[in-house]
């Protein structure tokens, strides 16, 4: 059985927790080390028991305290070569024995958990999402994606739990305070996924049999939990599924540790 918790999710910082009860993993560490320690304690987990940190990409909202936690607790850090190049200059020294390189599409075994990195379209150097498999269960995390493509869909389908980006509402972004250049970057094919595309993707996967979804990495300026839930929920209901009965849909709110999910 997997236990999963969104410790933090949003454009202001991300860190996720995955365990099968024996191996304990973090995905990203994009807020301060003390906040991650406190969030882990709030769900009954000791940060010293973390076996590995898997980093999706080098942007600071995903990597800010990777070095701090690795040094403090002697934790191995797994990332692509491109991500390591991108974050080396600001995460501080990491013991070379804890520097682990991964290849997109090449799975590794950590304890009894099979970790499968896959490429994502984002404006970073060799970014990845991750799926985790154990005892015939699949948990998938895919955020910071500018668009959906066939390779990405292939990696996120057949999940028992999928956490998918639902970053912004297009109307809120267009009418919001961001400068034009930043708006263009967010809406680009290597920016972030909007609510409507997240909803269409989730509806498609629901038709294929996926039943449990979390939407996350919400923007604080261009989205809110109610808008994201309403937009994605409408896509699910448009194909005849009932929220809360046929399909579970949850929102990982910014700066708030989620409940623990069991799959």
**How many residues in total does the chain contain?**
263
Residue-averaged pLDDT of the chain: 97
Q: What's the average model confidence in pLDDT over 101-123?
A: 97
pLDDT of residue 58: 98
Rounded to 5 degrees, what angle do the CA atoms 196, 201, 205 make?
145
- The structural domains of the chain, ordered by start, are 3-262 (3.60.15.10)
- 145 within 8 A of 165, measured Cβ to Cβ: yes
For residue range 168-206, list pLDDT tens digits in order: 999 999 999 999 999 999 999 999 999 999 999 999 999
* Residue-wise pLDDT tens digits, 212-225: 999 999 999 999 99
The CB-side HSE value for 34 (13 A sphere, CA atoms) comes to: 0
Phi, psi of 107 (to 5 degrees): -75, 150
Position 19 scores a pLDDT of 98
Task: Kindly report the pTM of this predicted structure.
Answer: 0.97
Rounded to whole angstroms, the Cα distance separating 215 from 125 reads 24
Q: In what order do the strands lie in the sheet with 113-119?
A: 108-110, 113-119, 128-134, 137-142, 161-165, 212-216, 248-251
Confidence of residue 105 (pLDDT cuts 50, 70, 90): confident
Cα 257 to chain center, whole Å?
Answer: 14
3-class secondary-structure state, position 91: helix
């Amino acid at each position: 059985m997997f236990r999963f918790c969104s410790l933090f999710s949003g454009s202001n910082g991300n860190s996720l927790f995955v365990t099968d009860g024996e191996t304990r993993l973090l995905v990203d560490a994009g807020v301060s080390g003390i906040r991650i320690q406190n969030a882990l304690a709030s769900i009954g987990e000791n940060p010293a028991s973390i076996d590995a940190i898997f980093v999706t990409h080098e942007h600071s909202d995903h990597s800010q305290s990777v070095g701090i936690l690795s040094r403090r607790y002697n934790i191995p850090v797994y990332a692509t070569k491109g991500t390591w190049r991108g974050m080396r200059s600001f995460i501080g020294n990491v013991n070379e024995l804890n520097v682990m390189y991964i290849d997109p599409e090449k799975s590794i075994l950590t304890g009894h958990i099979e970790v499968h990195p896959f490429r994502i379209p984002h404006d970073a150097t060799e970014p990845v999402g991750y799926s985790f498999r154990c005892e015939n269960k699949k948990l998938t995390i895919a955020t910071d994606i500018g668009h959906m493509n066939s390779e990405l869909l292939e990696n996120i389908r057949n999940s028992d739990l999928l956490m998918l980006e639902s970053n912004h509402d297009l109307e809120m972004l267009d009418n919001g305070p961001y400068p034009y250049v930043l708006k263009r970057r967010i809406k680009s094919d290597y920016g972030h996924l909007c609510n409507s595309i997240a909803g269409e993707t989730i509806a498609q996967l629901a038709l294929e049999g996926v039943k449990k979804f979390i939407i996350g990495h919400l923007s604080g300026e261009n989205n809110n939990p109610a808008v994201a839930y309403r937009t994605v929920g409408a896509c699910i209901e448009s194909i005849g599924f009932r929220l809360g009965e046929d399909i579970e849909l949850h929102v990982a709110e910014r700066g708030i540790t989620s409940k623990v999910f069991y799959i």
